[in-house]
Amino acid sequence: MDRKTMEELVNEQREKREPLANISRVDETHFLINNHTYELVSDPANSFDEHEFIDRFSTVFSKYDYIVGDWGFGQLRLKGFFADDKNVPAADQISGLQDYLFEYGNYGAGYFVIYNKDAKVPSRSKRRNNSSQRRGRQTNKPSAKTPSSKNSNTKNSNQSTNNRSRSKAKRKKPYVRERVSKVGPAIQERETKVQSSGKSSHRHFVIREKKAKNDGVK
């Protein structure tokens, strides 16, 4: 399929496709798109084409502060940019236009810039709040305990209780200290004498140690 045939097919598809927005020209630099005011702020090579712009425009571009159109091989390409005061990456801000044209645009091709006076960026705070609330609800949900985990916890508590009772029993158990004292020579015999007294009926017992036989008598 040659280039001419491709261009004919593209033109047929354009004619069949209905425009996605209602565009009306107010003057040379101002026009309305779906009752929102737009202004042509830059067109160095006088390359703005109203019909091509209407054909390429999509409602997605209504959130951008600027719409840039550049030409390449007879085709119009649109790109949206935010204002520099918006909290977006630098590549998506209008100050990065020249870098965009240098990297993606065709050398020497015409371009134009349209300013959207009623641009409204979708707020992300609600989405973040909703997502954080959902995460909070999921975190606050009580976790279901399985029987196995409950049984394991019971076993662990019983084991720890038994260990504590054993340690206490060991501390309370009495112990015997063996005390050794020196003993004198063995007493082989003992001599017992009984002394009686007339005055008293009590008897006194005197126990005397008898010297061992192996002791010499002089």
Each residue's pLDDT tens digit, 172-188: 555 555 555 555 555 45
How much helix, strand and coil, in percent to the nearest 5, is found in the chain?
40, 25, 40
pLDDT tens across the length of the chain (218 residues) = 676 676 667 666 666 666 667 788 899 899 998 889 999 999 999 999 988 898 889 889 999 999 999 998 889 999 999 999 999 999 999 999 999 999 998 888 899 999 999 877 555 544 555 555 666 666 555 555 555 555 555 556 666 666 666 655 555 555 555 555 555 555 454 554 545 444 555 555 555 555 555 554 44
pLDDT of residue 217: 46
Distance in angstroms (rounded) separating the CA atoms of residues 156 and 164: 12
Tokens of residue 84, six digits: 């520099």
Give the C-alpha separation, 168 to 73, whole Å: 92
What is the topology classification, in CATH, of domain 8-116? Hepatocyte Growth Factor (3.50.4)
Give the amino acid at 11: N
Strands (E), the chain: 23-25, 30-33, 36-42, 66-72, 75-81, 111-116, 189-195, 204-210
Interatomic CA distance for residues 42 and 20, integer angstroms: 24
Which pLDDT score, from 0 to 100, does residue 12 have?
A: 67
Rounded Cα–Cα distance for residues 119 and 121 (Å): 7
pLDDT value, residue 23: 83
